Amino acid sequence: MRRRTRSLSTVVPAVAAVILLGATPATARPAGGTTPTGSITVSAAASLTEAFTALGDRFERRNPRADVTFNFGSSSSLVSQIQAGAPADVFAAADLATMDRLVADGEVATTPTPFARNTMVIAVKPGNPEELTGVDDLADAGTISLCGAAAPCGVYAARVLERAGVTVPERRITRGADARATVGAVARGDAAAAIVYVTDVEAAGRSVAAVAIPAAQNVIAVYPIAPLAASSNRRLARAFVDFVTSPAGQRTLAAYGFLPA
């Protein structure tokens, strides 16, 4: 089926941010062997865009009577949408703390499952014209692009700066709504550098380059996934979660630069 994908930046807040999606893989079919059908809504962190789009395509090929559409955006904003009543069947976050907000509110049907990890990197313009070599150089590198302070990628970036003992004045920081918008500021030339996920730089291709962050200064982002209690198609939602955590799903995630959970 033709996939519909909606970016957080293109929707009206709350209910308008809803998306339908559905699917189930052969490796994740429920007991009894029957194939789940229908559609579900999957809200997922923006950094999962390419990987989940590929996962959805493969999931649908295995389950031709299922329909999958994704709602990608900042994990914190997606939680706000779900809490405001926007229909959703599955939630995949870029950190455990954001998922815990839904768990505390009783919005999650089962215990969330960590399914991938990620690390941070400095995104710079192609050719690295500023000749940045590490986090220390960001203190004097001009405009730095960071995710919103409440978004997981913004929280992770703050930890990286703290561990490196680097302070970037807020007047030199531009904030992106999510990881994709943040790395996009560098690609457009609006910022000299950004602290984003490794997978975001890989997805950006030749529009940006990467400067590694040493392990002692870096952080590990853990991504959890869970079906939601308000799902209108729990069977299909569970099947999609099972596919993401299956060997086939893990191979797809690895192909897009994610580390195993």
Query: What's the rounded Cα separation, in Å, for the pair 182 and 30?
Result: 39
Paired strand residues for 40: 21, 68
Please tell me the predicted confidence (pLDDT) of residue 135: 98
User: Identical fold at 4-117+222-255 and 118-220?
Assistant: yes
State pTM to two decimals.
0.86
Please tell me the predicted confidence (pLDDT) of residue 33: 55
Instruction: Walk along the chain (261 residues) and give the pLDDT tens digit of each residue.
Output: 434 555 443 333 333 333 333 333 334 444 445 788 999 999 999 999 999 999 999 999 999 999 998 999 999 999 999 999 999 999 999 999 999 999 999 999 999 999 999 999 999 999 999 999 999 999 999 999 999 999 999 999 999 999 999 999 999 999 999 999 999 999 999 999 999 999 999 999 999 999 999 999 999 999 999 999 999 999 999 999 999 999 999 999 999 999 999
Residue extents of the structural domains in the chain: 4-117+222-255, 118-220
For domain 4-117+222-255, the CATH superfamily is: Periplasmic binding protein-like II (3.40.190.10)
| The CATH number of domain 118-220, selected from 3.30.565.10, 1.10.357.10, 3.40.190.10, 3.40.640.10 | 3.40.190.10
Query: What's the rounded Cα separation, in Å, for the pair 252 and 17?
Result: 26
How many other β-carbons are positioned within 10 Å of the β-carbon of residue 188? 11
What's the one-letter identity of residue 238?
A: R
Whose CA is closest to 99, among 45, 136, 62, 51?
45
Two tokens, residue 259: 């580390």
Two tokens, residue 186: 């560098």
